[in-house]
């Protein structure tokens, strides 16, 4: 099945259905799907010259500049002004539109932009939509200050972070592209934290399900809060859905399976 075609379809659907008439600021996320979002914005045939496009890292900024759009850094936004809409990808999305993000290690600036936006549109092809988070995507990306990384990983193990095989959490390594850990656009590390069970939603709890953190079974918002409170953590790759603290409205546009 052509995954690129599904990403393109999701991006075109998201832009067609959500791009505002006269936005002042538009957030542009990171990853590969967002490339199709920028293409779809360009194909709208609108005058884009008066819109500030807020990037979520170096890759996103290059994408905006190479598309001939006007980048405006997040810290250059006028105080109090909101971003009209932000488009971004995700690694996995559940039925409540909670997202795992950070596969591209850009989660910190992505969350800054998402939480400053009136509308957050998550553009995700059919592979990403699962009933619960940590179904197919196995880990939660966490941006961590390097000196604290080992202490953060110890604390994550106490919170039950381990893969079904008992491994983890892991410091994200550069592998063939770089010896040693990768550094984010903030010069921090990424820790990927596996948990042995999919994350429960708040709806699950309302329906009587019981989280059991000691067994590594967490409710999504509670785990996000718990990880964010660990000393040395800058950002957690859990973006909660419309009922949660971050995204005001996240509309997941599932890509069509090409026939
Ligand atoms: O790192 C991120 O959160 C990105 O948005 C990423 O997860 C989406 O990447 P993709 O569009 O290449 O799947």
Q: What is the DSSP string of 227-257?
A: HHTSTTEEEESEE--TTSSS-S-B--EEPPP
Give yes or no for residue 91 CB within 6 A of ligand 1: yes
The percent of residues above 90 in pLDDT, for the chain, comes to 89
Instruction: Give tens-digit pLDDT for 129-154.
Output: 999 999 999 999 999 999 999 999 99
State the distance between the two ends of the chain, measured CA to CA, in whole angstroms. 9
Q: What is the pLDDT of residue 238?
A: 97
Give yes or no for residue 185 CB within 6 A of ligand 1: no
Give yes or no for residue 103 CB within 6 A of ligand 1: yes
Task: Confirm whether 110 is a catalytic residue.
Answer: yes
Residue 116 CB partners (closer than 8 Å, separation 6+): 27, 54, 74, 77, 82, 83, 86
How far apart are the CA of 214 and the centre of ligand 1, in A? 30
Measured distance CA(154)–CA(176) in Å, rounded: 27
Question: 92, 96, 110, 143: which one is catalytic?
Answer: 110
Measured distance CA(204)–CA(68) in Å, rounded: 45
Q: Is the ipTM of this complex over 0.90?
A: yes
Tokens of 211: 């989280």
Measured distance CA(247)–CA(232) in Å, rounded: 24
Instruction: Give tens-digit pLDDT for 76-104.
Output: 999 989 999 999 999 999 999 999 999 99
Instruction: Give tens-digit pLDDT for 148-195.
Output: 999 999 999 999 999 989 999 999 999 898 999 999 999 999 999 999
Name beta bridge partners: 85.
Answer: 26, 119
Q: What is the pLDDT of residue 214?
A: 86
In ligand 1, the atom with minimum distance to the C-alpha of 106 is 1
Instruction: Give tens-digit pLDDT for 206-227.
Output: 999 999 998 889 999 999 999 9
CA distances from 251 to 67, 86, 123, 246 (A): 25, 11, 8, 13
Indicate the pTM of the whole model. 0.93
CA distances from 59 to 29, 82, 91, 193 (A): 9, 22, 17, 24
């Amino acid at each position: 099945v052509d995954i690129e075609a599904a990403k393109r379809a999701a991006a075109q659907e998201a832009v067609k259905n959500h791009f505002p008439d006269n936005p002042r600021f538009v957030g542009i996320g990171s990853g590969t799907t967002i490339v199709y979002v920028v293409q779809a914005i360009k194909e709208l045939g609108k005058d884009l010259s008066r819109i500030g496009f807020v990037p979520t890292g170096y890759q996103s900024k290059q994408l905006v500049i190479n598309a001939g759009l006007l980048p405006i850094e997040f810290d250059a936004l006028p105080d109090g002004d909101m971003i009209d809409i932000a488009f971004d990808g995700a690694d996995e999305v559940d039925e409540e539109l909670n997202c795992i993000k950070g596969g591209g290690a850009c989660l910190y600036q992505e969350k800054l932009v998402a939480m400053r936006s009136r509308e957050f549109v998550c553009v995700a092809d059919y592979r990403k939509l699962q009933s619960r988070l940590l179904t197919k995507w196995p880990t939660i990306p966490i941006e961590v200050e390097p000196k604290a990384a080992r202490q953060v990983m110890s604390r994550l193990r106490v919170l039950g972070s381990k893969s079904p095989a008992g491994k983890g959490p892991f410091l994200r390594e550069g592998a063939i592209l770089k010896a040693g850990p990768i550094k984010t656009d903030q010069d921090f590390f990424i820790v990927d934290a596996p948990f042995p069970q999919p994350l429960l939603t708040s709806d699950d709890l309302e329906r009587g399900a019981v989280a059991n953190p000691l067994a590594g079974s967490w409710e999504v918002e509670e785990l996000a809060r718990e990880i964010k409170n660990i000393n040395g953590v800058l950002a957690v790759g859990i973006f909660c859905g419309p009922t949660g603290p971050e995204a005001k409205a996240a509309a997941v546009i599932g890509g069509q399976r090409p026939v």
